[in-house]
Amino acid sequence: MSQTDTAESTANRTDGQGVSTTAGETVEETRSEWTNYDSDGETKVAVEDLDVHYGDDHALKGVSMDIPEESVTALIGPSGCGKSTYLRCLNRMNDRIRAASVDGTVELDGEDVYQDGVDLVELRKRVGMVFQSPNPFPKSIRENVSYGPRKHGDIETGLLARLTGRAEPEREARLVERSLERAALWDEVSDRLDDNALGLSGGQQQRLCIARCLAVDPEVILMDEPASALDPIATAKIEDLIEDLARDYTVVVVTHSMQQAARVSDQTAVFLTGGELVEYDDTEKIFENPESQRVEDYVSGKFG
């Protein structure tokens, strides 16, 4: 899809909706050119007219936004603005909420992930996710990292595999080491891979979760406020890691911290209350010279 097409369709939609006002209070109109951001990179994920309802609650309103490859895209906005909802649409984690209904298209490398017949296992292997609070399994560090590949049958371990000679302990060890190294955790845990993961500190647990996600070799990594439960030092490590990961992966990170968005991201999308995407542009532009008055108020701390 060419950039011009996207621009036109976005413009048409917004014109059709007209001025958005709520309860008699005049709200600044959202202009399509504010969200019509053209990055230099190839588009990895293209989202078009995405609407999400949780029952009667309209959580996301007609969001269109293209995420470029091998970069960090930050989603910021006040609580309840729909940024996590947006994120969870990209790997269809919203399917797990019964009341959620999703309209619109989400394309991963040009393929609609919401069409019939999509293999969720394959989709989630390609689009990994890291959650807000660290959630390692109550298993050993090694088992945590190799969990995904094992369950997908990429690595065979266990008694039967050993008996039939199909076990590949070296391959598993290599995978674990590579994933942990990539997540900047190897040096801290290499001598205790068989310890329970719950014995690690919060920051280490979160990096373990990132390693667990990397072990299935994803293309896109979604992070839902990955550092909000961590102390400043652990946060700094996660931020360094995010910047580093963007060399090979497409990273989309939801954050409450505007400083964090400014530090790590290449482009930033601002969601404001009501589930609308207000502005999406280079991070520098968003934080220094936003087009929207509401975004300017928000990033300067006057609103939200």
Partner 1 sequence: MSRSTQTALVRDDRTVYEAVAGLTVGLSGVAFALALAALFDVVGIGDPVAGVSLSVVFGGLLLALGGAVVGFGVASRLGYVDTAPQPSAGVVAAAAFTGVWFAIGAVVSGALGLGTVARLGAGTALGGVAFVTTAFPREDIGSTVPAGLLAGLAGAVLVSGAVGPSWTQPLSGYNATLFGDIVVPAIVLFASLVVGWSAAKAYGGFGARGRNVGAYVLIYLVVGSILTVLVGLVAFVTTKGLPGLFNGFGVGGEALIRWPFLTNGAGLLADIAGVFPALVGTVWLVIGAVLFAVPTGVGAAVFLSEYAEQGRFTSVVEVATNGLWSTPSIVFGLFGAAFLIPRFGNQKSLIAGMLTLGFMLLPLVLITSREAILAVPDEYRDASAALGVSKWQTIRSVVLPAAIPGVTTGVILGVGRIAGETAPILLTMGGGVLPAKSAAPNVLSGFRLSASPPFVSNPALLEATSALPYQLYALITAGLSGNIRNPQEYAWGLALTLLLVVLVFYAGGIATRYYFRQKLHQ
Binding site for partner 1 (CB under 8 A): 91, 93, 96, 120-125, 128-129, 131, 133, 135-139, 147-148, 151-152, 195-196, 198-199, 209, 212-213, 216
| Vertex 261: Cα angle to 255 and 267 (nearest 5) | 115
State the Cα–Cα distance between residues 4 and 1, nearest whole angstrom. Answer: 8
Q: Quote the tokens at residue 9.
A: 């369709």
Count helices and strands in the chain by DSSP H and E runs: 13, 10
Task: Provide, rounded to whole angstroms, the least separation between the CB of residue 267 and partner 1.
Answer: 24
Taking only Cα atoms into account, the Rg of the chain, rounded to an integer number of angstroms, comes to 20
Nearer to partner 1, 61 or 212 (CB): 212
Residue 111 or 195 having the CB closest to partner 1: 195
Min dist. Cβ of residue 94 to partner 1 (A): 11
Judged by beta carbon, residue 157 or residue 268, the one nearer partner 1 is 157
The DSSP secondary structure of 81-131, one letter per residue, reads SSHHHHHHHHTTGGGGSTTEEEEEEEEETTEETTSTT--HHHHHHHEEEE-
Q: Which is nearer to partner 1, 48 or 172 (CB)?
A: 172
Residue 194 CA neighbour count, 13 Å, CB half: 0
Q: Which is nearer to partner 1, 91 or 267 (CB)?
A: 91
Minimal distance, residue 130 CB to partner 1, in Å: 8
Beta carbon of residue 134, minimum distance to partner 1 (angstroms, whole number): 9
Least Cβ distance, residue 57 to partner 1 (angstroms): 20
Please give the helix or strand (H or E) that residue 252 lies within, else none: strand 250-254
